[in-house]
Amino acid sequence: QVQLVESGGGLVQPGGSLRLSCAASGFSLDYYSIGWFRQAPGMEREGVSCISSSDGSTYYADSVKGRFTISRDNAKNTVYLQMNSLKPEDTAVYYCATSRRLLLRLWMLPGEYPYWGQGTQVTVSS
Q: DSSP string of 13-64?
A: -TT--EEEEEEEESS-GGG-EEEEEEE-TTS--EEEEEE-SSS--EEE-TTT
What's the pLDDT band for 1 if we cut at 50, 70, 90?
A: confident
Secondary structure letter of residue 26 according to DSSP: S
| Region 92-121 average pLDDT | 96
Dihedral angle at the C-alpha atoms of 110, 112, 115, 117, nearest 10 degrees? -20
Residue type, 111: G
Residue-wise pLDDT tens digits, 49-58: 999 988 889 9
For residues 92 and 123, is the Cβ–Cβ distance under 8 A?
no
Residue-wise pLDDT tens digits, 13-39: 999 999 999 999 998 888 899 999 999
Share of residues in the chain with pLDDT > 90 (%): 90
